[in-house]
Structures are given as structure tokens and as C-alpha cells.
Chain A
């Protein structure tokens, strides 16, 4: 067991966005969290990475992260690739990747990371071609690759991806998901994947959680969740993208 979440509540000021989440992310697995817009998926990742006020318990091996700051969480090897990519627009592709090392390199540090860059370039050859281009000038797909690449530069043990498929053409999404599996299988990085594209997410995941109104309403192996009639209806059916109420 790697990440163990118990009775997690998260708050935006007075608004309670998560109302008691329990979840386990096993070592080496791909777990996905599916749920409709506004369910609290992003908030859950922010709670883990320390970007929001939260209570309860988030155990990472033996460390409780519930009061940890983002920097401390990042140092432990938990890397959050945020929704909407958030690459640095005025830095080059190379500099964006370089910035991913901050968690272990240190602000004034001087540790080499050429091998890490090479790993990312092998995974996403497009980034090598675009090495000197500024972040803003990349296409949406390339920006997402860069965001994931920057995450890998952090040498994560747990890589959390928030809606990596958002706004991308289906072909690109397929390619990206293959890479996510590759990252998991070849580098042994545990993946926590958040998706509105439930079909694809369930296809590559080992375990799945369904999040609704700040609560986990279903969790099981991805195969079982996929064949759950309510999930079929709400997230995989004709109107899947709307992700209606289910339980």
C-alpha cells in the first residue's frame, strides 16, 4: 500500500468540496478517478499535493501529508500534473522540463539531470524537436506532453494526472494514454489518473473510483467498475460526457 486516504475533507473558504473521502492507491498500479464536472476530482488531487486546506489523513508510506506544503509533498516523490497543463509559457521546452527537477535538485542546487531529459525525449520525441521553442508556441497535445514530461523530471513515485485528455483530438489522446501505460510499466511509477473520458481511463487502469459531489460512491477494480450497469449508463453510455447522477 502506498497512498492511504481516510476521511478526507477539503475546503474552499467555507465551502466544503470533499466530504469524507477514503481511498487507497496501491504501489505500482494505475488508479483512475472518474466523475462529472464539479464532482471534486481536481480538489482531491490538490488535497494530496497540498494546494488546498484539508483535514483527515493522507498517509504516504509512514508520513502523514495532511498538513504538508506543496513543496514538501513534491520532495517526497508525489508529482501533480495540473489540470489545464500549466506549462511555463515564456520558458523553452527544455527549460520547462528542467523546472520539473526543482523538487530534488533544489533552488540553488547543481545536480545533473541530462539523463532525465533524455528519458523524457525518448518517451516524447516531439519534445526533442521542439526543445528550443517557447512553451506557449506548442500545440495543445505538445503542451500536455510537456506537462507530463515536466512531471517525470521530478522523478516521481506517484504521478497524478488531472484530465490529461482535456481539449485534445482523439488520436492524440490514444497516443498519450499509451505513453501513460508505458510510464507505469517501464518506469514503475504509480499513476493516479483523473478523467472525464471514463472509457479510456477504465481501459488502462487497475482500480477505479467514482467521485460524486465530493464523495466516493463506488470503488473496485477497473474491470468491475466498467461493467457496473450504473457506470455504463452514466459514464460510458451515449451521453457519457455528461456523466449524470448515478447512485
Chain B
């Protein structure tokens, strides 16, 4: 019994931690899908970029923690604006939506190559925010995992608050649901799109900052986005809450599957996705209708 608990708790905690990281990415993906209608293939690379940038601020420039957080937040927001003005704005009048898919793929390459030019290709190790571990039911858990879960929970909650409780957030929802109507009644749709991009990059960058101590900071961090895609599919493509829950489930599946195999844990995830797509293409949640996309 003790043996089971010792196994189960760490796997659950690390699964949850990775799950919320995927959830943050999936949220960003969903926000952009709703705002401009396409999947952002640079989502994982934004996370990777966030890991490098925070490494630079923290370990290279050695900024004090609070100043580092504030400047990272501001830089992410600014970078979100730059991202919007390079991958979206010049093409905004296109009649072929997939243009944006292609520009995000381009952005993905550019981000990967840029970090390699600036920081090289060697993986960089960074220290966790609070080193060490705590004992839960007699099992040692790295504090970083708990921090990730806590901070991610706050961010996810904050995003829902922004979109549900603030007037501006509801106007942003409106703009994503019907851009024509939004423009006609006078919602500044360019500003709502810009803010969406800024939020997305802040979220992705913060996720990168949080996973950096777990993985090495390296140019392939972006591949984590595959699990976020999986979470989006599991949650029923188009549904923000579903994407969050789906991503957390993906994190847990990955974690538990290490009991059987570490090599094929991603394979198991995609097996689950294929099964979902075959038997429940609308996602695992009951009643997730097209209209809930909103």
C-alpha cells in the first residue's frame, strides 16, 4: 500500500505539473484559434523563447527576482505585439485563412534559429525558483512542481476572469465570435486581436520560465506543444475549458504511462488521441457544442 502511494503521488504531481503547462499552451492556442481562426504552430517555440529570455534576465543579467518578473512580463507583452505585427497584421485582409498557419510555421523556424544564434545549441540548466523538496504523505516532491501547479492555476483563473468578468474581455469574446458584427457596432477589433496576442505570449513565455528548471533550456522545448495540441483535441476542439481539462488529462496520462514505458509515453498519448478522434471526435466532454466555442 505504502509502495503504491509512494509511486502514485509523485506521478500525479509531476503529471499535473506538466498538464497545467500544456493547459497554458492549449489556452493560448485556443485564444488564437478563436481570434483569427487558425492553429499557431509557433506556440511551443514561444514557450521555448520564454525559457531563454527568462534565463537571460535571471542568470545572465542577474536581475533581482521581482524586477526580473516585471521585465519578463513586459518583454513578453511587447513581443506579443511584435509577433502580431509580423505574423498577422500584414496579412490581415487575406481571404485565405491558412495564410496565418504558414506565417506561424515561419515564425516557429525563425524563433528556433534566433535562439540558437544568440544562445547556442547547448542545453542550459537553470536553477529552480525554490530548490529542494517537501514531503507529502512521506513522499518527496520537488517544490518546483508545486510552484508550477500553483502559478499555472492562478494564470488560468486570471484568463477566465479577464474574459468573463471584464467588459473589455467580453468585448474581446464578441470580436472573436463575429468580427463583422463587432466592427459594425464599433468594437476596436485590431486592439482586441493585439491584446489577445499579448496575452498569448505572456502565458507561453511564463510557461517556458516555469518548465525551464525541469528540462534543460534548449531549442527543442517547442515540441511540448504536441501535447497541448493533444489536449485541445481531447477537450473538443474549440472549447477553452475543455482544452484546459484535456491538457491536464494528457499530462497525467503521460506521467502514469511511465510506469509501463518511458520511451513510448508520447506514443501512448497519441494512441489516446487517435482513439478519441475515432470514437468521439467532438471531444470527451458531454454537451460540448459548436456554440460553446464562444
Q: Give 10 new A-B contacts, CB below 8 A, not counting A51-B180, A70-B183, A103-B186.
A: A82-B184, A86-B180, A88-B177, A88-B178, A90-B294, A91-B177, A98-B167, A99-B171, A99-B187, A110-B167
> Any chain A CB within 8 A of the CB of B191?
yes
Q: Is B59 an interface residue (CB 8 A)?
A: no
Taking a contact as CB atoms under 8 Å apart, the answer to whether B292 and A71 are in contact is no
Main secondary structure, interface of B, reads: helix
Flag if B183 contacts A136 (CB, 8 Å). no
Kindly supply a per-residue 1/0 record for chain A positions 69-107, scoring 1 wherever the CB is within 8 Å of any chain B CB and 0 otherwise. Answer: 011001100011010001111110001101110110101
Q: How many residues in A have their beta carbons less than 8 Å from beta carbons of B?
A: 32
Closest B residue by C-beta to A104: B186
Pairwise interchain contact A70-B184, C-beta atoms closer than 8 A: yes
Q: What are 11 of the A-B contact pairs (CB < 8 Å)?
A: A70-B186, A80-B184, A88-B173, A90-B173, A95-B170, A102-B186, A103-B186, A107-B167, A134-B294, A136-B294, A154-B186
Contact pattern, B 184-207, Cβ under 8 Å of A = 1, otherwise 0? 111110010000000000000000
- Known interface pairs A90-B293, A99-B171, A136-B291. Does A75 touch B186 (Cβ–Cβ under 8 Å)? yes
Cβ–Cβ contact A99 & B174, under 8 A: yes
Number of contacting residues on B, CB 8 A?
22
CB distance from A100 to the nearest CB of B (A): 6
A88 to B183, CA, bound (A): 12
User: Is the pair B174, A49 in contact by a Cβ cutoff of 8 Å?
Assistant: no
Contacts of B293 in A (CB 8 A): 90
A226 at the interface (CB under 8 A from B): no
Which residues, 187 to 241 on B, are CB-close (under 8 Å) to A?
187-188, 191
* The 7 residue pairs across chains A and B that have the minimum distance between CB atoms: A90-B294, A74-B186, A86-B181, A103-B186, A136-B291, A71-B186, A88-B177
Closest chain A residue to B170 by CB distance? Answer: A95
